[in-house]
Structure 1
Amino acid sequence: MIKLVTLDLDNTLWDAEPTIHQAHRDMVAWLVAQRPESTELLTPKVWAGLRRTLQAQQPEILYHPTAVRKAMLQLALAPLQLPIPQQQDLVEGAFEVFYDGRNQVKPYPEAITLLEHLATRVPVVAITNGNANLERIGIDQYFKAIVNAERAGVAKPHPGIFHLALSLGGNVSAQDALHVGDHALEDVEASKALGFQTVWLKSGALDTTQHCEPTATAESISELVAIIQAIVP
C-alpha cells in the first residue's frame, strides 16, 4: 500500500524549459536597462563561460540554483567595477526578475487533476533539483513539503534527498512510497535503488535514450494520471 507519493516538478508537472529561458531573457533585459554597458557582459557565450568558471572555482554550489545564478551575476558584473552595495543591488534585482519569471510556469491541467486526486489520499512531497516556488506557482496547498537540493544539501540522484523526503512525508519507508519523475536516472533509477515504486513520465524526459526500469511508464501526462489513480485509488 502506497503511503507517500513524491513528485519531481520541472518537466513533470509542467514544461519548464520555455519559461526558464524566457525568465533569463527578461533578467538580461532588465540588467541592460539598468546598466546599458552590461550588454556585452551578458551574451549567451559569456554566460556559458561564466558557468564553466564557476564550476572550476566553486563546485560545491553547483546544485544550488539560486546561489549559482547570483554568483554568475556577480562574475558577469565584476568588469563594471561598481561599488559593492550597488553591484549587490543589481544582482538581487536581476535575480528577482528571473525568479518571478521562472515561477510563471503553468502546471498541466492533468497535473492539477493528479494533485487533487492525491491530496485526499496520501501525503505528497516534491523533490526537485530546481528552485521552483510552489506558493508562487499556486499549488502549495497540495504538498506536505518540498525538498530541493538547497534544503537537502545534495541533489538527485543522491540518496540523501530522497531520505529527507521520506522523513518529511511522515517517516515513511521507501517500500511504501512512489516516486514520479521525468529523468530516467535521477528520478527513476535513483529512487528505485532505495526501494521506491517508480513511474517514469517519458514524455517529459529531455533524454529518452537513458535506460531505466520503472514500475510503470507513462507516455503522456494523461496516461500518468491514469497510472497513478490505479496505484493510489
Structure 2
Amino acid sequence: MTALGLDVARIRAITLDLDDTLWPIWPTLQRAEDALGAWLTTHAPRAAGLARNPEARHRARQQALTDHAAHAHDLATIRREAIRQLLAWAGDDPALAEPAFEVFFDERQRVTLFGDALPALAALSARYPLVALSNGNADVHRVGIGRYFHAAVSATQIGVGKPERRIFAAAAQAAGVPEHAVLHVGDDALLDGAGALAAGMQLAWVNRASAHWPPAIAGRPHAVVPDMRALCGLLGVAVS
C-alpha cells in the first residue's frame, strides 16, 4: 500500500472500475460461456459444436467487430453478433442469437466479489458518491451492489470506452463534480490509469497481482493498493 502524492482533501467523488477491481472477471466469463454452450447444445447443436472451437469463436468475434465497427465499444452488441455469426455459419437460425445472448448475459451478472469489495463499498459510499465506470456490460443492480452507487456509466451508454477522456468526463458529470475532484479506482494501468490521469483525475491503482507500473504510460498513480480495504485505509475511511 503506497500513497504517491494522493491529496485526500481534493476528493469529492470516486469513480470505480468493476471487472477485476471488485470481482475476478475470467471465472465469471467462463461460467457465462458454459451456460451459453449448454443452451446452444439444446437449441442449436451445430452452432454449439462450432462454439466449442476457440478458433471459430475468435473468427466470429473478429467478423462481428468488422461488421459492426461503429459498436466496437459495446461488448454486448459484439457478443450478440458473434453468436449470430456462429449460428449462421452452422446453418442454425440466426434469430436464436437474441435468447442465446440473454442466457450469457444473465450468467455474466452472477459474479463472485472479492472478499474486500462489499465492506469497502459500504464504507466508501457512506462518505463519497460512487460512480461505476466500466467498459464491460455488468449491471451493478443485477449484480446486487447497486445500492452503493450514485450512478453507473458504461462504454455502451457514452459511445466510447476507457481510456477515452469523454467517458471519464461523463462519470465526473454523473457524480456532480469536476474531473479534478474525482479519485478514479481501477486495476487496468492503461484503461483505468492512463485514462484517468489524462482526464486530470487522481488515480488509485488496485494492483492485486503486484505488477509493475508500465513505464510507457505518462504519469504515475497517486496511490497503489493491493485491495479495496487498503484503499479505505489510505482515505481514512473505517471499514466494518
TM-score normalised by the chain length of structure 2: 0.87
Per the alignment, residue 3 of structure 2 pairs with none
Asked whether the equivalents of residues 12 and 204 of structure 1 are also in contact (C-alpha less than 8 Å), the reply is no
Instruction: Choose which of 30, 43, 49 in structure 2 pairs with 1:21.
Output: 30
Per the alignment, residue 188 of structure 1 pairs with 193
Secondary structure in structure 1 of the residue aligned to 2:83 = helix
Q: Does 1:40 align with 2:49?
A: yes
Secondary structure in structure 2 of the residue aligned to 1:45 = helix
Per the alignment, residue 6 of structure 2 pairs with none
Measure how far apart 1:192 and its partner are.
1.2
Change (3 A) 1:109 1:67: same
Distance 2:203 2:18 in 1: 15
Q: How many residues align?
A: 225
Per the alignment, residue 223 of structure 2 pairs with 216
Asked whether the equivalents of residues 116 and 227 of structure 2 are also in contact (C-alpha less than 8 Å), the reply is no
2:140 maps to a residue whose letter is: L
Per the alignment, residue 225 of structure 1 pairs with 232
Measure how far apart 1:208 and its partner are.
4.8
RMSD: 2.0
Comparing 142-151 with 214-223, greater Cα deviation is found at 214-223
Question: Is there any run of 5+ residues in structure 1 with no aligned partner, and where?
Answer: none
Secondary structure in structure 2 of the residue aligned to 1:30 = helix
Distance 2:81 2:63 in 1: 10
Measure how far apart 1:209 and its partner are.
5.9
Distance 1:224 1:161 in 2: 23
Question: Is there any run of 5+ residues in structure 2 with no aligned partner, and where?
Answer: 1-9
Secondary structure in structure 2 of the residue aligned to 1:187 = helix
* Percent identity for Structure 1 against Structure 2: 33
Secondary structure in structure 2 of the residue aligned to 1:100 = helix
Asked whether the equivalents of residues 83 and 97 of structure 2 are also in contact (C-alpha less than 8 Å), the reply is yes
Distance 1:10 1:226 in 2: 22
Per the alignment, residue 7 of structure 1 pairs with 16
Secondary structure in structure 2 of the residue aligned to 1:203 = coil
Moved over 6 A (4+): none
Measure how far apart 1:91 and its partner are.
1.2
Distance 2:105 2:181 in 1: 35
Change (3 A) 1:138 1:175: same
